[in-house]
Amino acid sequence: MGRRSLHTADELRELIIGASTDLIRESGLEGLSAREIARRIDYSPGTIYNSFENLDDLVLTIEGRLLDSLLDALAALPPERDDRVRVQKIASRYLEFVADNPKLWNLLLEHNLPASRSAPEWYRQKLEALMKTVERALLPLAKDGIGDEELARSARVLWAGVHGIASLSTANKLSMVASDHASVMLEDFVRTYLAGFERNKDAGRG
């Protein structure tokens, strides 16, 4: 335990997050334990709870950073004049990101807070930022006068479909429902969804 005096509270927090992230990358959520985190950073298990209230708080922090990384990846996409292509590229980048971080990304599906506790506001804001990214991409393809609620619902439906394909692919379950590669299925899904979305636009003009 001689390393204890070498780290500030912030440094120790980063050590814990880094070791925990590595554990999840290697073994998924089931591989995460206070004892193993402590062993990797050469501190006692109790030290972890000086930085985090519990393991749920630690996992939420890792999820939050993962969402930040995804948002940065989407924001880094180059400008695209064709609005349909823009949506396709967002979906493709999402699939690539999930494929690059499979066990980490599965946290969003596997990690459940106790029924008595809701996700903190900062976490909900990150999820909302992801939805707003999809909404902004859809807006140029929407009918005139579309309401905020309708646009938000459409963005969430599109995201759910993209997320489903990406998650099935990451879990190696996609072959159970289709023989096509995930990228082919994703492109087909987004193209079909946008065609229906724009038909609603044309119907609204009529």
- For residues 20 and 77, membership in a common domain is answered with no
- For residues 100 and 42, membership in a common domain is answered with no
- For residues 147 and 62, membership in a common domain is answered with yes
pLDDT band of 188, cuts 50, 70, 90 = very high
Any idea what the CATH number is for the domain that residue 111 is in?
Answer: 1.10.357.10
What is this structure's pTM?
Answer: 0.85
- For residues 72 and 43, membership in a common domain is answered with no
Distance between CA atoms of 144 and 57, rounded to whole angstroms?
43
Residue 16: domain span? 1-52
Write down the pLDDT at residue 33.
Answer: 94
pLDDT band of 179, cuts 50, 70, 90 = very low
- For residues 123 and 169, membership in a common domain is answered with yes
- For residues 108 and 17, membership in a common domain is answered with no
* Main-chain phi, psi angles of 31, to 5 degrees: -85, 0
Task: Enter the tokens of residue 176.
Answer: 């159970």
Question: For residue 206, is pLDDT > 50?
Answer: no
Question: For residue 65, is pLDDT > 90?
Answer: yes
- For residues 137 and 182, membership in a common domain is answered with yes
Count of structural domains, the chain: 2
